[in-house]
Each structure stands twice: as structure tokens, then as C-alpha cells.
Structure 1
Amino acid sequence: MENMRISGKEKSLWIFLIILLFLYSCSSDHSDHETRFENKTLRMDYLHTGDKETSSIRFLAWKEEPFWGGPRKNLIDDPLKGEFVVEVFDNSGDKLMYSKGFGTLFSEWQSTDEALNSTETFYESIVIPFPKQQVLIRLSRRDKKQQFHVLFETSFDPLSMALEKTQPNNYPVQKVLDSGDPSTHIDLVFLPEGYTQDEMEKFRQDVEKFKNAMFSWSPYDEYKHRFNIWIVEAPSQESGTDIPQDGIWKNTILNSSFNTFNIERYLTTLDYKSVRDLASCAPYDQIFIIVNSDKYGGSGIYNFYTIFTADNEVSEFLLMHEFGHGFVALADEYYSSDVAYSDFFDLTVEPYQENITTLIDFGKKWQDMLAPDTPVPTPDDPVYYDTVGVFEGAGYQAKGIYRPYHNCTMKSRSINNFCPVCKRAIRRTIEGSTD
């Protein structure tokens, strides 16, 4: 058979077509946003009700928020992390236009023993870029086998739906780190909790302190130019937060409280409506809540919020550990501390969190980062303390789940100590959110 020959003219044409396709693929995500979405936010508020085994969604309201802080490229979440996912399809339901994984306080409550004998309702909401035309919105839940099941599905038509336009309160808003356009940067909004009007200067100083701390940690120190930081100066009537076990109750703007799920250090707020309302004063990708207290505590829920106290001696650790949950969906690597959860992970499947493994599908985790002579599992012996390995004990369980390092900020109260696997996950998240 004769060799096929391509003329110089044909070769030039093929090169032109390849370049054209490359340019189209690089710009299509952005053009998709411009074609399908407005530069503002659609918020869906709903009630999430259930017990240990069941849950249901009751729609409450559509709300229009004036800013969109999320990306205009990379509209499809990949890899998909979190217990839940919101998906936006065109009206036919055939083309996926947007998706975002997230967690909720409800799903954490479901893993407690209390959920065995009671039913609870939590206020929740999701936000998506505001669609220009009718769309199908689907909310799905990941089960312990890592399979998604549809919880709720509805259509939204911007021309016919009853829509509440949120009016940002007249609170001062400042951009305290300005690296560029919100559509190409990660926007963090810091909300004050338990700061009175007379304590707003303290709030500003606290944000500055934690901003400097965040960007002194590896690998965030490499990426400061990819972040914006906003603050909303919203005062509370009283200083501090609720501590029910001590009989302390405060009138605060976000109604936060210690002792969530009967865990002394677990600091959260169930008032998610107020959190979203206050955050809507600025563009945002991630919500931080700084609580004006020196008590040790906090929490971080993936793409939900990160909350921590301002004045504890390890508040810097609290900020970064909880942000590991809230921003990157990193798992806790400890297994001996008091927690409310029971049987949080199914040991017969691989969890989605990048920093733990059940060894069911370890090739998708950090197997590529192991030295050839590192044993699996890795003995918890000093000879391996500075080595990426597979150490048993993580995710609140002493057996059957493994972590990548002897010690890490996701395991203990250590400063600037994310392990190599967590650092890689952080880099992937930042780069995937801003590329």
C-alpha cells in the first residue's frame, strides 16, 4: 500500500483547524456563562427534614442576590466533592450547565445517635448563577456507597417565577484584599459574630490578623494573588456567643452557639438564612464567620461556611483546619477525640475526601506519592514520621481508614503543618477554582 502523503496546503489547514478547536475549548466555558447566566445570583431557600435514614426537601422561596462571586469558567464541578450536589440543566434536562458539590449541617446531624430516635428540620439554601432562560434544577444526595440519589427537582423560569430581590443591608462593606475580578478569583467574605458596634475596629483588626496568618501557611502563601477578601461590618446587640452548657445566651446577629450535637467545642449556627442574607452584601465563594470569643471551638462544612473563634491561643489553627473542611473538603485525620458521629464512613467503598482512604481504590488517592520502599499499611514508627505513607486511624475511626502522614494540621493542633497530600489537594482546589 502506498504511503499517504499530505500536501503543505492540507497540513496548514489541519493546523489551523486544531488551533481553532483549541481556542474554542478554552473559551467555551466563559461563553457558556455569558450566554446562559446573568452576573448575579439565584438563591433557593428550603427546609431539609429527616431522621437517620430519610430526608425530604420543602421549597420555600426564590431569591435574587445582586452579585455573583463564583466562576464564569469551570462551571461543572470536577472532581465532585461533598455530600450533596446542585445541578442546573437546560429546560430539556439534557445539557448540564452548572454543578456544585456542598455539605450541610443536616447531613452531620444525620450521622449522630440522636437521629436514630428523632426527626429534625434545618433551614438551608443553594446559590447558582442567575439563569437567563428556564432551567431545571436538581438537588441530589450522596449515600455511603458514594452513589447520588435525587432529593428534589424543580424548574425555574426567570420570566414567570415569584422572586424576592434581596436588598443588602446598609452595613459597610470593604474589600480588604483586592487581587482582581471576582469571576477569576476566589472571593472570601468575613462576617462578624458577637461584635458590637463599639467592637467593629476589633473585627477589622481580627480579619487583618487572620488574613496575614492564612497567607503565611504553605501552600496558601503561593496563591495570595488568587484571592479577594471582603468584610461586612454588621454589629451584634451583644458581645460573644451562646454557651448553653454554661447557661450563657447572647443576642447576636448570626445566632451562633457552642455545644452543637452536645459536643462542647462544636461551634455552629443553625440560622443559615441570616448567614446567606449577610454574605449577599458582597460577592463570595466562601463564607467565614469570626466569633468574638476566646473559647476553643469552630466548624467547617464544605461550601457551606467556616466558623471559628477569634481570641483562643490556637485560633490560627482553628481557621486553617476548619477551612480545610470548608474549602477543600478535607477529612479529619484524628480518630480518638470526642465526636458526635457514629459509623461516619463505609469501609467497603473509597471515600471522596482526598486525604483519607479505605484502600478499596487507593490508586485514586496518593499512591503515586509513596516511595517504592514504603510499606502499605505504614507502621506508625518514628522512621516514617516524615514520609508520605498509609497510617491506620482517621475519619473518627481507629481501624479500617488510613491517613497519609503521621501528623498534619487535619489531625492535630499544629501550625503551618499541612502534609504533602493535603497541600496537593489545596493546590488543586485553588487552581481549579481560578484557571
Structure 2
Amino acid sequence: MRTFVFWIFLLVPTLLSAQNSYNTYFKNHSLRFDFLLGGNNEEVVVYPAETKEEPYWGGNKSNLVDPFNYGSYRFQVFDLKSDSLIFSKGFSTLFQEWQTTAEAKTTKKTFYQSAIFPFPKKDVKLTIEARQWDGTFKTIYTTNIDPKNYFILDEKVDKFPVRTILDNGKPEHKVDNVILAEGYTAAEMEDFYADAAKVSGYLFDTEPFKSEKSNFNVRAVFAPSEESGTDVPGEHIYKNTYFNTSYYTFDLPRYLTTSDMKKVYDAAASVPYDQIYVLVNTERYGGGGFYNFVTVCTADNELTPKIIVHEFGHGFAGLGDEYYNSSVAYEDFYNLEIEPWEPNITTLVDFDKKWKNMIDTDTPVPTPRKAKYKNTIGVYEGGGYMAEGIYSPYIDCRMNTNEAEGFCPVCQEAIRKVIRAQTK
């Protein structure tokens, strides 16, 4: 009992310090800095769009500086007077994937993004950084923000109907998922809410989300579309929907994404949120997930229970794809001379930072893809869209195939770490 009390006394100052740091620098709502990422396969440029004040901050108030170093990009917020780092967040983008396609070698494009952080009380410096081929970050944009600047938009948030699917407590102590309706007409509102509850059930039927369910809140926001469904350009099908989702991203039939992120952010601002999930009213197979950006998935495909879990693994925990024999649009996606940032794949360049401590001493490294190792944590060649040079921790996992029973132990632990960081 005395030992327990002793540790409580040690912990309380740390928690109070983190809370005081938040109260020193931030208010209890958000600042949204919208920008375009533009360029081609060799260059990236940030084009500022607009800055907005939003009514909620759904994130943790203790872990303000990102502890994971995940993502192909990150933004950092510094107190301008002291130059102290007071907030940071890693994220991934559709633009970075597009840069690795053949089209990017001959064309320039822009993609809509946003840096969202607690609304500052004092002047701050915002930096946006891109991960380089060697794994380091390079600053590609810097600006100072005066929170009293009257050009920061303070508009009323659009009023969309909201239904709570799961409520386990205050947003700052929970992972807050917002599910947005896409391709549901006004007459299909109840269908959307039923689908939102259904797909949430799929997620919480899967470990580790099942045992961590009490650490989540889920809210569904209904943004009505003029037509049901979504675009399928390869079949000349075009629907007038609220978030303009589309299959055939990068000309891949199954790749379902949205390029209208401004509308996504505006609708999500109706509630406190950490993760955005766009639920598309279609029976077709498909989806897409991007770390700390957006997850998109269909509502009614027979494989939806598998797809939502896989894509949310990308969007929430930064998990990498472990498959290595499927058709993708990417070229030279990973540098085999460095360790990838995703927690569930490795080049063995710096394996000590990955799951090395979870491997039994009698398991060979690399580990043969043989039946005797079916349920063994190891180092199996193949992953990250490449058959050679990249390794994954399990023969099969939800980040590899739809046939896998669920996440492997390494992916489960990676997910739990993110949950702990966002809820402590």
C-alpha cells in the first residue's frame, strides 16, 4: 500500500505539469491551418489556404508532443517568444503516395491538407516538415501565427445531425472517432446511423480494440448527399456526393479515397475528434487509410468487417501494409538502406527499435515462411509491397490479408501504444 501511495505522489506532479503546460499555451478549442501540398515526384511545396478557429479540441491534453515519430510528414508548433516546442503531430498524405506513381514523373498536382492543434493563447511558429528519402525530416514551410489576427476565420460550424454511437467519457481522455456519411441521401439518414453502428461493432470485435473499447468515443455526423453511392470512373459511374469520394485512385479499381478534404474537415468540426472515418454507401470492395489523416471504407461489402479494421490500422496506428504480391501503383516506395517508420515492417537496418524484444531466442532471424512458424513472431521476408528486403512480424496478419484472423501480436502492441498515448 505504501509503495502504491509513493508512486501516486511521484505521478501527480507529472500529470499536473502536463495539464499546466496545456493551460499555459492553449485554449479549449482548435486552430486549423489549411494548406495545399503540391509538386511532383521530386519536389513539394506548401501553399497556404486559410486559417480557422474551430469549437472543439478532442485530443489529449498531456501528450502534446508526438512520441512516435511516425508519418511521412509532421507539423510542429513552437511558442514564439521562448522557441519552445509545445505541440507536434506526425501524419501521412495521399500526396506522398502519389509522388511514388509514374504520373508524378510528368505531372504536378496539389492535395488539400490541414494542421489542427489546440488554439494558442500566444503567438506561435508553425513548421511543416516532409520526411526525406534518408528518413530525416526537412522543414518545407514556416509561418508565425498571431491568435488575435482577425484574418483567422471564426465562422459558425455547419450544423449536421449528430448521433452518439459510443460515449465513454471526456474527449481528452478518450480516442474520439467521428464517422462521416458519404453517398447517403436525406432519405437514407437512418440507414447511415445503422451502418455507422455496424462498422463500429466490426472494429470493437477485433483485438486490441475489443479489450480497449472503454477508451473510445464514437460519433456519427450525417452530411446528406444528392445521390446514393460514389464515383466509379473506370465504369463511367459518377455520383453527386457530399465528399466526392471515388474509386480508381491512382487508376487502381479498389482504391477508394476523397480529394475534397476541406469538406471533410468542415463536417468533422461538428464534434470533438481524433480520427476521421468516411463511411461510403456502397457494396463495392474498397477503401483507404492514412495515418492521422483520414480513413475511407465502404459500408456493405461482404469484406467490410475486414477492410475497416485494416484501413483503421493505417489511419490510427500508422501500421504499414504487410502484403508484397499485390498490384499497387507505387514505385520505389521504401528506401531499403534505412529503417521504415511504420512499427510493423523492417529492413533490419535498425531492428532494435522494432519488435526484436518480442521474438523468442530460438526463432531464426530471418524466419522461414513455413507452417511450423504459423503462429510465431518472427522476421518474415516480404512486406511493404516488396517481396525482398522488407520483413514483417507474422506469416499472416490483418495488415497482410483478409484471411488472417486479426492483427498479429506486434500490430496489437503498436495499436495499444497509440491508445495509451492518447488516453493517459
TM-score by length of 2: 0.97
Q: Hey, what does 2:46 align to over in structure 1?
A: 57
- Alpha-carbon distance between aligned partners in 1 of 2:404 and 2:162, rounded to the nearest angstrom: 30
Percent identity over paired residues: 46
Match of 2:116 among 127, 148, 151: 127
Q: Secondary structure at the match of 2:223?
A: coil
- Alpha-carbon distance between aligned partners in 1 of 2:10 and 2:333, rounded to the nearest angstrom: 45
Contact kept, 8 Å, 1:217 with 1:416, in 2: the verdict is: no
Task: Look at both structures and tell me which one has the larger radius of gyration over its CA atoms.
Answer: 1
Is 2:316 aligned against 1:333?
Answer: no
Match of 1:148 among 133, 137, 154: 137
- Alpha-carbon distance between aligned partners in 1 of 2:67 and 2:399, rounded to the nearest angstrom: 23
Comparing 187-196 and 112-121, the one that deviates more: 112-121
Is 2:276 aligned against 1:287?
Answer: yes
Number of residue pairs matched by the alignment: 420
Alignment of 1:305-320 (within 5 A): 305-320=294-309
Q: Deviations over 1:251-286 (max 9, x none)?
A: 000000000001110000000101101101111000
- Alpha-carbon distance between aligned partners in 1 of 2:100 and 2:389, rounded to the nearest angstrom: 18
Q: Secondary structure at the match of 2:194?
A: helix
- Alpha-carbon distance between aligned partners in 2 of 1:116 and 1:93, rounded to the nearest angstrom: 42
Q: Residue type matched to 1:135 in 2?
A: V
Moved over 6 A (4+): 16-21
Q: CA deviation at 1:23?
A: 3.0
Is 2:328 aligned against 1:376?
Answer: no
Q: Secondary structure at the match of 2:297?
A: strand
Q: Hey, what does 1:190 align to over in structure 2?
A: 179
Q: Hey, what does 2:385 align to over in structure 1?
A: 396
Q: CA deviation at 1:169?
A: 1.7
- Alpha-carbon distance between aligned partners in 2 of 1:169 and 1:37, rounded to the nearest angstrom: 24
**For the aligned residues, what is the CA RMSD?**
1.5
- Structure 2: gaps (5+ residues): none
Q: Residue type matched to 1:422 in 2?
A: C
- Alpha-carbon distance between aligned partners in 2 of 1:357 and 1:261, rounded to the nearest angstrom: 26
Q: Hey, what does 1:162 align to over in structure 2?
A: 151
Q: Hey, what does 1:267 align to over in structure 2?
A: 256
Contact kept, 8 Å, 1:166 with 1:277, in 2: the verdict is: no
Is 2:398 aligned against 1:409?
Answer: yes
Q: Deviations over 1:103-160 (max 9, x none)?
A: 1111110111111111111121111110011011111111121100001100111112
Contact kept, 8 Å, 2:177 with 2:277, in 1: the verdict is: yes
Comparing 92-101 and 301-310, the one that deviates more: 92-101
- Alpha-carbon distance between aligned partners in 2 of 1:78 and 1:226, rounded to the nearest angstrom: 19
Match of 1:220 among 165, 189, 209: 209
Q: CA deviation at 1:236?
A: 0.3
Match of 1:173 among 137, 162, 177: 162
Is 2:408 aligned against 1:422?
Answer: no
Q: Hey, what does 1:10 align to over in structure 2?
A: none
Q: CA deviation at 1:24?
A: 2.2
- Alpha-carbon distance between aligned partners in 2 of 1:425 and 1:389, rounded to the nearest angstrom: 16
Match of 2:192 among 186, 189, 203: 203
Q: Deviations over 1:317-336 (max 9, x none)?
A: 11000000000000000011
Q: CA deviation at 1:212?
A: 1.5
Cα 1:173–1:372, aligned 2, differ >3 Å: closer, same or farther?
same
TM-score by length of 1: 0.94
Is 2:241 aligned against 1:252?
Answer: yes
Cα 1:242–1:235, aligned 2, differ >3 Å: closer, same or farther?
same
Q: Residue type matched to 2:347 in 1?
A: T
- Alpha-carbon distance between aligned partners in 2 of 1:399 and 1:161, rounded to the nearest angstrom: 54
Q: Hey, what does 1:106 align to over in structure 2?
A: 95
Alignment of 1:353-368 (within 5 A): 353-368=342-357
Contact kept, 8 Å, 2:287 with 2:311, in 1: the verdict is: yes
Q: CA deviation at 1:18?
A: 10
Contact kept, 8 Å, 1:218 with 1:416, in 2: the verdict is: no
Q: CA deviation at 1:20?
A: 6.9
Contact kept, 8 Å, 1:261 with 1:340, in 2: the verdict is: yes
Cα 1:18–1:368, aligned 2, differ >3 Å: closer, same or farther?
closer
